[in-house]
Structure 1
Amino acid sequence: MKPTCLLSALLPAALLAGCATTADYAAPVAVETQASTQANDLQALVAQVDIPYETFTLDNGLTVIVHTDRKAPLVGVTTYYRVGSKHEPRGRTGFAHLFEHIMFNGSENVDNFDVPLEGAGSTPTNGSTWFDRTNYVETVPTGAIDRALMMEADRMGYLLGAVTQEDLDRQRGVVQNEKRQGDNQPYGLADYRVPEVLLPVGHPYRHSTIGSMADLSAASLEDVRSWFRDHYGPNNVVLALAGDIDAVTAREKVQRWFGDIPRGPDVPSVSTEPVTLAAPVSEEMADQVSQVRVTRNWTGPGLNHPDAEPLEVGMSILGGLYSSRLDNAMVYGEEVATRVSAQAQTFEQMGFLSAEFDLIPDGDRAAAEVLFLAEIDRLVSEGPSEDEVRRAATQVISGQIRSLERVGGFGGKGMELAEGLLFAGDPEYYRKRLERIASLTPADVQAAMQRWLTRPAYTLAIVPGERTLDGAAMGGWGDEATNPPPAPDAGGGVTADRTGPERAIPEVGAIPPLDFPTAERAMLSNGIPVTLVQRDTVPAVMIALTLDAGSTADSPDEAGRHQLMMDMLSEGTTSRGQLEIVIEQEELGADISAISSVDFSRVFLSSLTSNLPQALDLMADIALNPAFEGDAFDRMQAQRLAEIADGLTSPGTLAGRAMGRLLFGPENPYAMASTNGDAEVIDALTAADMRAEHDEWFRPDLASFTVVGDIDMASLLPLLEEAYGSWQAPATPPSHKAIDAPVPAPATRLVVVDRPNSPQSVLVLGRLLPLTGMDQGKEPLELANEVIGNGFLSRLNNDLRETRGWTYGVGSSLPGRVGQQALVVSTAVQADRTADSITVILDQMAAFPFDRPVTDEELQRVTLGNIRGLPNRFETNGQLLGALLGNQLFERPDDYQERLPEIYSSITADAINDAAARYLQPDDLAIVVVGDRAVIDEQLEGLGLAIEYWEAEEL
Structure 2
Amino acid sequence: MKKTLLLAALAVTHTSLFAQSIDVKSLEIPHTRYELDNGLTLLVHEDHKAPIVAVSVWYNVGSKDEKPGKTGFAHLFEHLMFNGSENYDGEYFKPFEQVGATDMNGTTWFDRTNYFQNVPSTAVDLALWMESDRMGHLLGAITQEKLDNQRGVVQNEKRQGDNSPYRKAEYSLLEGIFPEGHPYRWSTIGSMEDLNAASLDDVKDWFKQYYGAANTVIVLAGDITAEAAKQKVEHYFGDIPPGPPVKRLRSYVPEKEISSYEEVFDKVAAERIYRVWPVAGRTTDDIEALNLLAKIAGEGKTSRLYQRLVEKEKLATGVSAYVEEHTLASIFNVEVTLADGADEEEVSAIIDEEITKLVKSKVTKSELDGARMRTLSRTIRGMEKIGGFGGKANVLAEGELYADDSNHYMESLERYAGATPKDLNEVAKAWLSGGFHQVIVRPFPNYAVSSESADRSTLPEVTEMPELAFPTPEEFKLDNGISVYFVKRDAVPDVSMRVVFNSGYAADANGYPLGTSSMTMRMLEEGSGKTDGEAYKTEMDRLGAASYFGASLDSSYAHLQSLTANLKPALSLFSEVIQKPAMRDNDLTKLKPIWLSNIAQEKSQPVQLAFRELPPLLFGNDHPYGMPLTGSGTNESVGNITTKTLKDFHSTWLRPDNAQIIVVGDIEKSTLKAMLNDSFGEWNVSGKAGKKEIADVPQVKGRTFYLADRPDSPQSLILAGKLIPSITDEDALAIDTANAIVGGKFTARLNMNLREDKGWAYGARTMSLTTAGMRPWFAYAPVQSDKTVDSINEIDREMKEYNGKNPATATELSETVTTEVRKLPGSFETNNSVLSEIQSSLMQGKPLNYPMLLQQEYDKLTLEDVREQSDLFTTDNIVYMIVGDASLYKAELEKMGKVVMLDIE
TM-score by length of 1: 0.90
Counterparts of 1:687-726 in structure 2 under 5 Å? Answer: 687-726=643-682
* Aligned equivalent of 1:572, options 495, 506, 527: 527
2:614 aligned partner: 659
**Contact 2:214–2:243 at 8 Å: present in 1 too?**
yes
Deviation at 1:690, TM superposition (A): 1.7
Deviation at 1:922, TM superposition (A): 2.4
* Aligned equivalent of 1:928, options 872, 875, 881: 881
**Contact 1:405–1:875 at 8 Å: present in 2 too?**
yes
Q: Which amino acid letter does the alignment assign opposite residue 101 of structure 1?
A: H
Rounded to whole Å, the distance in 1 between the matches of 2:538 and 2:690 is: 35
Deviation at 1:516, TM superposition (A): 1.1
**Contact 1:186–1:649 at 8 Å: present in 2 too?**
yes
**Contact 1:864–1:905 at 8 Å: present in 2 too?**
no
Q: 3-state DSSP class of the match of 1:728?
A: coil
1:346 aligned partner: 325
Counterparts of 1:525-536 in structure 2 under 5 Å? Answer: 525-536=479-490
2:758 aligned partner: 804
Counterparts of 1:68-87 in structure 2 under 5 Å? Answer: 68-87=46-65
Counterparts of 1:195-214 in structure 2 under 5 Å? Answer: 195-214=174-193
1:848 maps to 2:802: yes
Q: Kindly tell me the number of residue pairs found equivalent between the two proteins.
A: 882
**Contact 1:157–1:500 at 8 Å: present in 2 too?**
no
* Aligned equivalent of 1:183, options 162, 169, 191: 162
Deviation at 1:781, TM superposition (A): 1.4
Deviation at 1:906, TM superposition (A): 3.4
**Contact 1:796–1:844 at 8 Å: present in 2 too?**
yes
2:112 aligned partner: 133
**Contact 2:264–2:442 at 8 Å: present in 1 too?**
yes
**Contact 1:628–1:690 at 8 Å: present in 2 too?**
yes
1:614-663: CA deviation from partner (whole Å, max 9, x where unpaired): 11001111111111111111011111111112221111122111211211
Q: 1:222–1:904: structure 2 CA closer, same or farther, 3 Å change rule? A: same
1:284-329: CA deviation from partner (whole Å, max 9, x where unpaired): 1122222111121111111122111100000110001431001111
**Contact 1:66–1:247 at 8 Å: present in 2 too?**
yes
1:905 maps to 2:859: yes
Counterparts of 1:327-406 in structure 2 under 5 Å? Answer: 327-406=306-385
**Contact 1:108–1:500 at 8 Å: present in 2 too?**
no
Aligned-pair identity (%): 38
Q: 3-state DSSP class of the match of 2:728?
A: coil
Q: 1:882–1:582: structure 2 CA closer, same or farther, 3 Å change rule? A: same
Q: Which amino acid letter does the alignment assign opposite residue 302 of structure 1?
A: G
* Aligned equivalent of 2:41, options 57, 63, 80: 63
Q: 3-state DSSP class of the match of 1:240?
A: strand
* Aligned equivalent of 1:751, options 692, 703, 706: 706
1:735-773: CA deviation from partner (whole Å, max 9, x where unpaired): 22232275664432111110122100000001112x123
Q: Which amino acid letter does the alignment assign opposite residue 493 of structure 2?
A: P
2:4 aligned partner: none
1:599 aligned partner: 554
1:950 aligned partner: 902
Counterparts of 1:24-35 in structure 2 under 5 Å? Answer: none
**Contact 2:396–2:406 at 8 Å: present in 1 too?**
yes
1:849-897: CA deviation from partner (whole Å, max 9, x where unpaired): 4211223442232112222111111111111011100000111012311
Q: 1:285–1:141: structure 2 CA closer, same or farther, 3 Å change rule? A: same
1:439 aligned partner: 418
Counterparts of 1:738-887 in structure 2 under 5 Å? Answer: 738-740=693-695, 742=697, 745-769=700-724, 771-887=725-841
Rounded to whole Å, the distance in 1 between the matches of 2:271 and 2:116 is: 38
Rounded to whole Å, the distance in 1 between the matches of 2:280 and 2:850 is: 51
Deviation at 1:918, TM superposition (A): 3.2
Q: 3-state DSSP class of the match of 2:379?
A: helix
1:267 maps to 2:246: yes
1:74-124: CA deviation from partner (whole Å, max 9, x where unpaired): 010000001000001221100100000000000011122111111111112
Rounded to whole Å, the distance in 2 between the matches of 1:216 and 1:857 is: 37
Q: 3-state DSSP class of the match of 2:165?
A: coil
Rounded to whole Å, the distance in 2 between the matches of 1:806 and 1:548 is: 41
1:334-371: CA deviation from partner (whole Å, max 9, x where unpaired): 22111001111111121111112111112233323222
2:7 aligned partner: none
Q: Which amino acid letter does the alignment assign opposite residue 326 of structure 1?
A: L
Rounded to whole Å, the distance in 1 between the matches of 2:59 and 2:516 is: 50
Q: Which amino acid letter does the alignment assign opposite residue 651 of structure 2?
A: D
Q: 3-state DSSP class of the match of 1:768?
A: strand
RCO higher in 1 or 2 (8 Å CA, sep ≥ 6)?
1
1:889 aligned partner: 843
2:30 aligned partner: 52
Rounded to whole Å, the distance in 2 between the matches of 1:776 and 1:317 is: 53
**Contact 2:261–2:439 at 8 Å: present in 1 too?**
yes
**Contact 1:823–1:920 at 8 Å: present in 2 too?**
no
Q: 1:602–1:256: structure 2 CA closer, same or farther, 3 Å change rule? A: same
Q: 3-state DSSP class of the match of 1:648?
A: helix
Q: Which amino acid letter does the alignment assign opposite residue 795 of structure 1?
A: R
Rounded to whole Å, the distance in 1 between the matches of 2:369 and 2:284 is: 21
Rounded to whole Å, the distance in 2 between the matches of 1:764 and 1:544 is: 32
Rounded to whole Å, the distance in 1 between the matches of 2:652 and 2:359 is: 47
Rounded to whole Å, the distance in 2 between the matches of 1:635 and 1:702 is: 30
Q: Which amino acid letter does the alignment assign opposite residue 683 of structure 2?
A: W
Q: 3-state DSSP class of the match of 1:951?
A: coil
Deviation at 1:48, TM superposition (A): 3.1
Structure 1: runs of 5+ lacking an equivalent: 1-35, 467-498
1:216 maps to 2:171: no
1:586 maps to 2:541: yes
1:244-279: CA deviation from partner (whole Å, max 9, x where unpaired): 101111111111111111221122213551112242
**Contact 1:766–1:925 at 8 Å: present in 2 too?**
yes
Deviation at 1:910, TM superposition (A): 2.2
1:530-572: CA deviation from partner (whole Å, max 9, x where unpaired): 1001111111110000111111110287211121111010112
Rounded to whole Å, the distance in 2 between the matches of 1:516 and 1:691 is: 39
1:463-521: CA deviation from partner (whole Å, max 9, x where unpaired): 1224xxxxxxxxxxxxxxxxxxxxxxxxxxxxxxxx99742101113113212112101
Q: Which amino acid letter does the alignment assign opposite residue 634 of structure 2?
A: D
1:552 aligned partner: 506
